[in-house]
Amino acid sequence: MGTEIEFVGFAEDCRVEGKLDLDDARLADLLNSHKSITVRAVTLVSTLDGHTQAFDSLEINRDELDIVIASGPRGDPKRRLATKPNGVAMKLGPYSAEGFMHAPPTANPVRGINNRPAMVALTDVVLEYQFCEESVSTWYRTVLVNRDLAVSLRAVTSPGTMQFGAA
């Protein structure tokens, strides 16, 4: 058993909250190396009407998760590369995210998105979505977005300043 971390993910119609045993260096590594994960002490919160459902454990396929809030260790500092933050806006199902995608200084992160693993980190992110027919806008230090589920991706100059319309 690895390090236990808090898990928060967003699926098409619910928020998934629970505990996850981190058996990799980072949450991104775990999600990118496994097609599914098992979350314990899970609560699903419907974004449509707010009702909740609890489970002792739940296996979740990576392709069911639009966005995961990054938690746990950042990984080995010796493996980090010099990158440049690039402003991006993404639409993933009912969610809109604006933040910074980090890439090598000469790379175009929008054009190179398909060369990345499925779960891609964004930093200083404003996540917007509807919860019980109310607009929610929340800032997160780091999120992992599922590039395979992205409906759109575009470069922006000032992430987090644009308002997305209701999905």
Per-residue confidence at 61, pLDDT binned at 50, 70, 90? very high
Residue 76 lies in a domain: no
My answer on whether 88 and 62 are in the same domain is no
Over residues 106-164, the pLDDT tens digits come to: 778 788 888 889 999 999 999 999 999 999 999 999 999 999 999 999 999 877 654 44
> Which of residues 11, 36, 66 is at a domain's end?
66
My answer on whether 97 and 50 are in the same domain is no
Residue 94 lies in a domain: yes
- State pTM to two decimals: 0.88
Q: How would you write 66-120 as a 3-class SS string?
A: EEEECCCCCCCHHHCCCCEEEEEEEEECCEEEEEEEEECCCCCCCCCHHHCCCEE
Structural domain count, the chain: 2
CA dihedral 129, 135, 137, 138 (to 10 degrees): -80
Containing domain of residue 148, as a range? 81-155
Of 101, 99, 151, 107, which Cα lies nearest the Cα of 125? 99
Residue 73 lies in a domain: no
Residue 160 lies in a domain: no
Cα–Cα distance for residue pair 26/76, rounded to 1 Å: 9
Over residues 7-32, the pLDDT tens digits come to: 999 999 999 999 999 887 789 999 99
Which CATH number covers residue 145? 2.30.30.100
Of 84, 120, 122, which Cα lies nearest the Cα of 104? 84
Most confident of 78-87, 91-100, 155-164: 91-100
Q: What is the pLDDT of residue 74?
A: 63
Cα–Cα distance for residue pair 96/146, rounded to 1 Å: 12
User: And the tokens for 20?
Assistant: 């996850």
DSSP state of 51: -
Three-class SS state of 49: coil
My answer on whether 51 and 87 are in the same domain is no
